[in-house]
Structure 1
Amino acid sequence: MSGKFQSLIMQAIIGGGLLAGGQMIGHGALADTTINALFMSQAAYSESDVRAMTADFEKANPGIKVNAEFVPYEGLHDKTTLAQGAGSGYDVVLFDVIWPAEFAENKVLVDVTDKITPEMKKGVLPGAWTTVEYKGHRYGMPWILDTKYLFYNTEILKKAGIAHPPKTWAELEKQAEIIKNKKLVEFPIVWSWAQAEAAICDYTTLVAAYGGKFLDESGKPAFQTDGGVDALKYMVETTDKGLTNPHSKEYLEEDVRRVFSSGDAAFALNWTYMYNMANGDPKESKIVGKVGVVPAPGVAGKSEASAVNGSMGLGVTTTSKHPDDAWKYVVFMTSQDVQNKYAKLSLPIWASSYSDPAVTKGQESLVAAAKKSLGIMFPRPTTPTYQQLSTQLQQALHTALLKSASPADALQTAADAAGGGL
């Protein structure tokens, strides 16, 4: 080592210290902790909103930096599990309500049951906790409390002479026929039926309406019977009649939003976030001020309304090197103050928020629909092998929609493939 280089090293040590690995800090100050967080880049909170929330967290916690990464929903699960398998990567991850069973069994998420405070237990809506629970334990905080609603174009319904939005799926079909016959739009209904989880969410909404179930009491497939078959028959029927946009088979939620916001559909099933984007953002929508929203319809004699549990939570990974700081970030992001501030794209998990004018103003009809829908959210199957089951169901839905098999036969094929391995 040269004398000059040795002198520089000594100056660094005297001036501020040298950490293992060569990272220098000055005057005894602690080095910043960086935590990595994984989010999705579609639906619910926008990327800009998440970054704004994160910036506020960093201001309140100057020793912690957050590196936020965004991926499409379709890549969220695999990105999480691949990083976990590598033993590094993310400290905080956004996870779907359908994943706690798998993530708990495979030790992907930290069990935070003991970290949930009495204030959290009392203040969060009871139904929201199901988002992060598995076998009596909690693996994060609920963050996005969401279900799918029926959105409708008020101007189109008025032109069609329709006085009120449909309360049953059969009534929706009749209203769509009236609108189509009057040539107000070519395909009155648009859905997200791409061969992805989006289609399962729409299917689940219909299964709930028709009184179906995914699994029986012994945990074996039951979607190939009764309401499960009726739900898929409805999907096929509305397509055959030309009421459903045929491109729905390739659409995800953002495609649905674009079609509906352009005025090319009278009805759409979608998540909360679409309301304010379609009804209040002229940069994103041609139908600002013409958007109605109600709970998804029911089926006469079986249900008054229907809803799928599409909620998501934030959790700390078991491989996080900074679990306490990661949990601090989760608590901040899910806090009532933060959620109330950003309530235009995702409604809060906190019960008292629904009487706060800052949350309800300008979206009264959405909040009214939420008060009913959030209380009847129907779950997708809770099983560690959900991903495989979902893939089999997606294939069944497309097989029927493409007329390659009847709804009953397509679902039976999926049930046989799932067998008793759930």
Structure 2
Amino acid sequence: MLRTITKTLVGAVFAGGLLVPHAFAETTLNALFMAQAAYSEADVRAMTDAFTKANPDVKVNLEFVPYEGLHDKTVLAQGSGGGYDVVLFDVIWPAEYATNKVLVDVSSKITDDMKKGVLPGAWTTVQYDGKYYGMPWILDTKYLFYNKEILEKAGIKTPPKTWEELGAQAKMIQDKGLLKTPIAWSWSQAEAAICDYTTLVSAYGGDFLKDGKPDFQNGGGLSALKYMVDSYKSGLTNPNSKEFLEEDVRKVFENGDAAFALNWTYMYNMANDPKDSKVSGKVGVVPAPGVTGISEVSAVNGSMGLGVTAVSKHPDEAWKYIEYMTSQATQNQYAKLSLPIWASSYDDPAVTKGQEELIAAAKLGLAAMYPRPTTPKYQELSTALQQAIQESLLGQSSPEDALNTAAKNSGL
């Protein structure tokens, strides 16, 4: 529950025979974050501690939920009479949150320096209908990670540049007996699968919507799902991929059980950590591949922002907290976990040192980020597509039929 706690400190200061009271108001903010990729819970707590140290009149209560619970927790809290002041939100939600007045329009608080300093692609994370509903915070896309040692043993000199080449290299690795199933994906019936699918839709030049109506059942959208099904049926993809989320993929890759994995930025430094990873020092990363004659690279916009909720009783303090969390100084300090939203950070050796390979991939991947559809009915659309992907992978439906059904059930 939101509350303002007023503490009165009475100091025994005697002046002209009077006791002079000293009072200050402590504002308590409630903030909702996710308990997984990019910045860890410990990192967010450390950032917040630094903020409250600099702003002793503000206290921040932190709550962490898995990504899968972030949206519903935010929406349900709106009508509970309490709720959150600051929430983390995915790039796919501003349309819905703006339409349903979940977030405050903060366009007037976005300064010219912010507009000039933040990478242009990052702003799409928090915009809807020409207005700003927060500050971008986690700038992210999925990259192709590969095990350098396994590729070397297979006689492969360079990582794949096309999705077709990825399959061919995986077959070489499998044929040499180096790995039974060389590829790992996040294809659980969840948003994770939509992110992998979107990456492939971008590679095949597909469209989710055309004139506001579903178009993923045609062209590149259909080709993307066919690729997923072919990869799954070929035996090159880990069969457990249909239940994997990103953290499962990370663990499989770090254990040395995948030669290729599609995952977010955060996996790079985690997989290179010798304390937890068996493949430390062997991790390669490149932009997700393209398709011959259509695309050079592929990428999904997986960025996230921080916004002030419409029910916040302390919007000014909430915005101050967001400014601190998204500031260049804070982001640069934690750049090994999530790449900064600020353009000039990429010229800072403190940011790039030790992750030059990732930065090189990011320059291409971040420039090619493809959005999931911007619609207030995104949740319905995503649910329909998740089901289509699962049914196709399990052979319960053809990709054509599954996507046609998804188009009918999308709510659009």
Matched position secondary structure for 1:403: coil
Consecutive unaligned residues in structure 2, runs of 5 or more: 11-21
Q: CA deviation at 1:24?
A: 4.8
Match of 1:102, as an amino acid?
Answer: E
Match of 2:391, as an amino acid?
Answer: T
* C-alpha distance in structure 1 between counterparts of 2:275 and 2:119, whole Å: 34
Partner residue in 2 for 1:49:
43
1:371 partnered with 2:363: yes
- Which residues in structure 2 correspond to 1:363-402 (within 5 Å)? 363-402=355-394
Q: CA deviation at 1:87?
A: 3.1
Match of 1:266, as an amino acid?
Answer: A
* C-alpha distance in structure 1 between counterparts of 2:388 and 2:338, whole Å: 31
Partner residue in 2 for 1:344:
336
Match of 1:125, as an amino acid?
Answer: L
- Which residues in structure 2 correspond to 1:18-417 (within 5 Å)? 24-27=7-10, 28-216=22-210, 218-279=211-272, 281-417=273-409
2:4–2:27 contact (8 Å) kept in structure 1: no
* C-alpha distance in structure 2 between counterparts of 1:267 and 1:87, whole Å: 47
| TM-score of the two chains, using structure 2 as the length reference | 0.95
* C-alpha distance in structure 1 between counterparts of 2:280 and 2:90, whole Å: 30
* C-alpha distance in structure 2 between counterparts of 1:274 and 1:197, whole Å: 18
**What are the Cα deviations for residues 53-82 of structure 1, in whole angstroms up to 9, with x where unaligned?**
001001110111111111000000000001
Consecutive unaligned residues in structure 1, runs of 5 or more: 1-19
Match of 2:256, as an amino acid?
Answer: G
- Root-mean-square deviation (CA, aligned residues, Å) is 1.2
% identical equivalent positions:
73
Q: Which runs of 4+ in 1 moved over 3 A?
A: 20-24
Number of aligned residue pairs: 399
**What are the Cα deviations for residues 152-206 of structure 1, in whole angstroms up to 9, with x where unaligned?**
0000000000000000000000000000111111110001000000000000000
Match of 1:300, as an amino acid?
Answer: T
* C-alpha distance in structure 1 between counterparts of 2:323 and 2:6, whole Å: 30
**What are the Cα deviations for residues 308-364 of structure 1, in whole angstroms up to 9, with x where unaligned?**
000000000010111100000000000000000000110000000000001100000
Tell me which moved more, 230-239 or 297-306: 230-239
* C-alpha distance in structure 2 between counterparts of 1:132 and 1:121, whole Å: 12
Structure with bigger strand share is: 2
| TM-score of the two chains, using structure 1 as the length reference | 0.93
1:22 to 1:287, Cα distance in 2 relative to 1, 3 A: closer
**What are the Cα deviations for residues 292-311 of structure 1, in whole angstroms up to 9, with x where unaligned?**
00000000000000000000
Match of 1:26, as an amino acid?
Answer: L
1:156 to 1:87, Cα distance in 2 relative to 1, 3 A: same
* C-alpha distance in structure 1 between counterparts of 2:265 and 2:292, whole Å: 25
* C-alpha distance in structure 1 between counterparts of 2:180 and 2:37, whole Å: 26
1:314 to 1:21, Cα distance in 2 relative to 1, 3 A: closer
1:301 to 1:158, Cα distance in 2 relative to 1, 3 A: same
* C-alpha distance in structure 2 between counterparts of 1:349 and 1:257, whole Å: 24
Q: CA deviation at 1:31?
A: 2.9
2:181–2:236 contact (8 Å) kept in structure 1: yes
